[in-house]
Amino acid sequence: MNGKEIKILAIETSCDETAAAVVKNGREVLSNVIFSQIDLHTLYGGVVPEIASRKHIEKINQVIEEALDSAKVTLNEIDAIAVTYGPGLVGALLVGVSAAKAVSFAAGIPLIGVHHIEGHISANFIENKDLEPPFVCLVASGGHSHLVIVKDYGEYEIIGRTRDDAAGEAFDKVARAIGLGYPGGPKIDKLSKEGNPEAIPFPRAKVEDNFYDFSFSGLKSAVLNYLNSCEMKGEKVNTADVAASFQKAVIDVLVGHSIAAVKEYGYDKFAIAGGVASNSSLRSAFETECKKNGIAFFYPSPILCTDNAAMIGTAGYYEYLKGIRHGFDLNAVPNLKLGER
């Protein structure tokens, strides 16, 4: 780097977190400010896109200022602005993209659009200073379940994806069905500790033509059917057992597919990313299986698993090094594919 420090101001507004961060040389987080809107959306049992956009507009300037202040840097010291431009909720993405463009234009700082999933994967680089590609990464969030080979920085091959619900979506839907509310992941994680994961034999779905693809909608229906049949028979539901058995079914599939992929494709490093990656039982299941198979296991702290801007700053840094810059025609792309620019 010839001694030059690269500082990136990153912005993330793809869903219900208004976030900004300053990241130095890709792996050092100088600030990571997250304004979570969860309390607002909890009232409605899930994210309401229109409310998310409005709240982002209200908060974005304040969050950016806070990120600069707590990093003790001014805009003059920022080398590039990285912003999530997809995938995500279009109205929510637009707020971050517009803010990034405005700051970039006003201060004359280069602009870099970042893929949200690339951000999640890159969260692994922040605390694991020695982690370098290639490795296999499982991205499990509210909107995505991807099994990805990270061939190099910014180079991905997707070998498995969900055919229906994402893993986090299944957590959220099952949580709602057993009366836990939104967001379901952390609540099921907690309640599962009091339940028996072997109590109810929920299905582990296999997808016919690609072993590495996921399907969670059948599992979700199986849980709903189980709850209905208990109600019809007048049986009391043990929600902790339902939570633990559902969670175990998800974990078995995620772990089974991931370990098989690492072995078949011949890698020795594996990482997890996305909101579901903060699940405590999932982390310990991977810990055990990776150890058993001689695979080095990497994972971000929970705060870097769920949506944040530091991960966008890290991904943006590697794009910056490759010379990638976006113009002011950068737009929000709600269904942006990984690897597309």
Q: For binding to ligand KG4 (CB under 6 A), which residues are involved?
A: 15, 141-143, 168, 171-172, 183-186, 189, 274-276, 278-279, 306-307
> Which among 87, 26, 17 has a CA at the least distance from the CA of 319?
26
Is residue 21 within a helix (H) or strand (E), and if so which, with residue range?
A: strand 17-24
Residue 278 touches which of ligand KG4, Zn ion, none (CB < 5 to 8 A by kind)?
A: ligand KG4
CB 191 to ligand KG4: min, Å: 11
Nearer to Zn ion, 13 or 141 (CB): 141
C-alpha 222: how far from chain center? 26
CB 236 to Zn ion: min, Å: 36
Residue 87 touches which of Zn ion, ligand KG4, none (CB < 5 to 8 A by kind)?
A: none
Residue 168 touches which of Zn ion, ligand KG4, none (CB < 5 to 8 A by kind)?
A: ligand KG4
Nearer to ligand KG4, 216 or 318 (CB): 216
CB 314 to Zn ion: min, Å: 14
Distances (CA, A) of 25 to 79, 164, 299, 306: 10, 37, 20, 22
Which residue shows structure tokens 């929970």? 302
Count Cβ neighbours within 10 Å for each residue of 12-22 and write b for 16 or more, e otherwise: bbbbbbbbbbb
Nearer to ligand KG4, 100 or 312 (CB): 312
Residue 186 touches which of Zn ion, ligand KG4, none (CB < 5 to 8 A by kind)?
A: ligand KG4
Residue 276 touches which of Zn ion, ligand KG4, none (CB < 5 to 8 A by kind)?
A: ligand KG4
Measure the CA–CA gap between 8 and 317, rounded to whole angstroms: 7
Two tokens, residue 189: 């994680």
Burial class (CB in 10 A: 0-12, 13-18, 19+), 305: buried
Measure the CA–CA gap between 86 and 166, rounded to whole angstroms: 17
CB 77 to ligand KG4: min, Å: 29
Nearer to Zn ion, 42 or 196 (CB): 42
CB 244 to Zn ion: min, Å: 25
Contact residues for Zn ion, defined by CB under 5 A: 141, 307
Nearer to ligand KG4, 133 or 274 (CB): 274
CB 234 to ligand KG4: min, Å: 31
Measure the CA–CA gap between 154 and 151, rounded to whole angstroms: 8
DSSP, res 81: E
Nearer to ligand KG4, 24 or 115 (CB): 115
